[in-house]
Amino acid sequence: MPEQPSDTGPANNRRNFHRSRYERYRGGPDPLAPPLDLREALDEIGADVMAGSSPRRALRELLRRGTPGLRGLDELRERINRRRNELRKSRNLDGTFDEIRELLENAVLEERKQLARDLDDDARFAEMQIGNLPPSTAAAVSELSDYRWRSPKAREDFEKIRDLLGRELLEQRFAGMKEALQGAGEADRQAITDMLSDLNELLAQHNRGEDTTDSFAGFMTEHGQFFPENPRNTEELVESLAKRSAAAQQFYNSLSAEQRAELDQLAQQAFGSSDLMNALASVDGQLRAARPELDWDGAQGFSGDQPMGMGEAAAAMADLAELDELSEAMSQQYAGADLADIDLDALARQLGEDAAVDARTLQRLEQELRDQGFFERGADGELHLSPKAMRQLGQSVLADIADRLTGRGERATRLSGRLGEPSGATREWAFGDTEPWDVPRTITNAVVRDAGTGRFSRGRPVQLTVGDVAITETEARSQAAVALLVDTSFSMEMEGRWTPMKRTAIALNQLISTRFRTDELQIIAFGREARTIDVGELAGLSPRMEQGTNLHHALLLAQRHLRRFPHATPVVLIVTDGEPTAHLEPSGDAFFYYPPHPQTIGLTVAELDHLSRMGAQITVFRLGDDPGLAMFIDRVARRVGGRVVAPDVDGLGAAVVGDYLRGRRER
């Protein structure tokens, strides 16, 4: 049996080889774009929320101002408006009128020269006719429409007027017609006439709601050369033509009354008859019926010194309309506004690809923030920061405060405990760590590293490097019940202490929930009245015009929290900027009086005494320089054996977290 040819020969390999073809990047999501920094965006949103903005507004403000290296909606909109103003202030609508006037003057001048050389009586009569032309360019062109030119050059210039008018009128509706029809003959003009007739029929059929699939296919087969944008269906054809038609109407609306009168008269001479203008008017009517929502009655004011032809002016009108749409989309001020409303292709046309990339990135940023679950809709229907967002925000705030602590020589917050109970977590060793090694994890790291480099083999000793060493995180064995009392009276907002107070609570919550999970934290907000509050609610809490510092009520709630954990060390941290001016009556109502009422002071001190008898470690963080507050706090601290810390606003978080860590080391 003869041997069969092999399928693995060189020729067959070449035939089966798949070639790759590379093309220029043409827009859309950039596959090489770096991942979005959601952490930085969330930090900015969190800062706005803590300052009193709603999450929805904070997100909108972030998109408006952008981030470092990413232009926001406001800057993009400013560029759009600047381009719009530059276009209007640099151009005018006189281009076609000036060109026609120049052609007419040239034709008349050449004809005068010829008539001066001719000696017959008809020449003298023609001279009288030429010399008595009306001052209006349009009227003169109309009067000369039947004139028998003697000068070939004059006749050529006059025919250029008719040709120019026809091409400009077509250029207003169909891009590229002015150049395409330059020097066109009668056959070319007939093709235009046929196209307009068929287009009118197609548009009428579309406006009647009929199926135009077959009609559109036949129309494009016959006249597709006039539509380089290659629309895929009647809707796309109508969309592109309607915008140019509306721009042509805006051009007409923008002319002065004298210019409109001249254009009406001149248009009848396009290509030597009124047929073209009649056909275009019919097309405009069909398009207006198909897209009545476009700005058909608008007008634009141009005041520059660069003249535009009719086609160029219509394109400028279309650009202005597109810029207006982009500006509105960038504003996001209308009902149902969405970043997806921004036309990225239009933005690239008007401002360049870099602007489209920025807008696309903003769209991605908003979508990623929503998709990653950083927002959730509450029972009130409004957006709120989700627990995931609060954890991320807490990490950032705590990291910032940890930097301050480390700079002051305090213990870094990444340490979970000192030779206490293992937390079950391990991490890479760093210089200065004293925790015990996790030996199995360390050996595993070394083996995996060797296997990855190909050097691992049976019988070969495992070699450790510093990067392999893993240590066991430990947790202090003592449990604490921590009550953080934060003043939410209006003076905190007026003195710029509102956001630092929130950052302090968020940082402490993050530290306890991630590093000291056995501790129990309760946040208590007190103004005229006090209430327990979770960290997410506190982050979004808005300041209220509420007088009163009801520390008495807050201390009662703190005691209730501490009693729930009788075997834990009680810790009370108080952040305030004012003397107690309110207390809770037996009826449950809040009593307020300023200056502080003796009864308010007495009840507040009594509850501090009660906490002292419970063994609570009390620290008061006094904000501001009020001498009355300083005197009250100092006396109370000496009475109950507490500590007083008077940090500046920027150091509040570090002071509270540092005090908590100090107390934990002591415990």
What integer is the mean pLDDT of 530-558?
A: 92
The tokens describing 483, both together, are: 């009550």
Q: Which residues contact 329 (CB under 8 A, 6 or more apart)?
A: 337, 341, 342, 343
Distance CA 92, CA 309 (A): 9
- Is the Cβ–Cβ distance between 642 and 605 less than 8 Å? no
Task: Please write down the HEC assignment for all residues of 336-398.
Answer: CCCHHHCCHHHHHHHHCHHHHHHHHHHHHHHHHHHHCCCEEECCCCCEEECHHHHHHHHHHHH
DSSP 470: E
**pTM exceeds 0.95, yes or no:** no
Which of 118, 113, 110 has its CA nearest to residue 154?
110
Residue matched to tokens 């709120």: 384
What integer is the mean pLDDT of 616-624?
A: 95
Would you say residue 633 has pLDDT above 90?
Answer: yes
Which of these ranges, 111-125, 170-184, 396-410, has the smallest mean pLDDT? Answer: 396-410
pLDDT of residue 411: 40
Percent of the chain whose pLDDT exceeds 90: 41
Task: Please write down the HEC assignment for all residues of 155-224.
Answer: HHHHHHHHHHHHHHHHHHHCCCHHHHCCCCCHHHHHHHHHHHHHHHHHHHHHHCCCCCHHHHHHHHHHHH
Strands 569-576 and 582-584: unpaired
- Average pLDDT over the chain, rounded to whole? 85
Listed by start position, the domains of the chain span 33-91+325-383, 94-301, 418-475, 480-666
CA of 387: how far to CAs of 372, 471, 539, in Å? 12, 29, 11
Give the confidence band of 33 by pLDDT, cuts at 50, 70, 90: low
- Is the Cβ–Cβ distance between 572 and 483 less than 8 Å? yes
- Is the Cβ–Cβ distance between 254 and 147 less than 8 Å? no
Distance CA 271, CA 184 (A): 11
pLDDT of residue 94: 85
Residue 550's CB is within 10 A of a number of other CB atoms, namely 25
Distance CA 533, CA 50 (A): 14
pLDDT tens figures, 427-451: 887 766 667 888 888 888 888 887 7
Q: Which carries the bigger pLDDT value, residue 95 or residue 291? A: 291
Q: Select the CATH number that applies to the domain covering 480-666 from these four: 3.40.50.410, 3.20.20.70, 3.90.1640.30, 3.40.120.10.
A: 3.40.50.410
The tokens describing 119, both together, are: 């000696």
